[in-house]
Amino acid sequence: MSEDVPPYGDPRRRRPEKSRRHHSDAGPPREDRFEFIGKRLTLIVAIIVPLFTAFMLWRAADLQYKAAKEAVNQQRESLNQQYVSMAIGLLAKAPTDDIGRALRGWEVDVFMKFAPVPISPAVEQSLREGAAIPLRGDAVTGTGSVGTIH
């Protein structure tokens, strides 16, 4: 290596100068720039479209799941109301035989499980012992009202 050129990596070593563009040189032709932009847009679209599609499919499935869950909850609530109506209808009559007395605990259990508002332990015990729920109107169809137990 010659003495007047500093070794590679020495900060005194000169870098070759880059060629500078003249004002008359406008750069690459316009078609090349459009091709470059077109390739980049194609790449961006190739990434965004599948992601957007996946998001929309996930959202549709989520909405469908929530609607099905709400339908199941409404069916469950309707069934619970039917159980409460059945239990009130059965508890409105005092048991007359041994089978009626044996079923009385089940009737109270059904009422306690599905009624939205629980009854007091004293009323529950009274019903288990055979007291009837005094009704006014038709409680089974919901047109009457439940009286108090004494």
- Span 49-69, pLDDT tens digits: 999 999 999 999 999 999 999
pLDDT of residue 149 exceeding 50: no
User: What does the angle CA 77 – CA 120 – CA 80 come to, to the nearest 5 degrees?
Assistant: 10
Asked if residue 22 belongs to a domain, the reply is no
Residue 4 lies in a domain: no
Query: Where would I find the H helices in the chain?
Result: 30-91, 98-114, 121-128
142: left (phi over 0), alpha (psi -120 to 50) or beta: left
64 residue type, one letter: Q
Give domain status of residue 7, yes or no: no
User: How large a percentage of the chain has pLDDT more than 90?
Assistant: 35
Residue 102, in any domain of the structure = yes
- For 109, the domain range is 32-146
- Crossing angle, helix 98-114 and helix 30-91, to 10 degrees? 150
**Number of compact structural domains in the chain:** 1
Token pair of 4, please? 């007047």
> Is the residue at 135 inside a domain?
yes
Establish if 127 belongs to a structural domain: yes
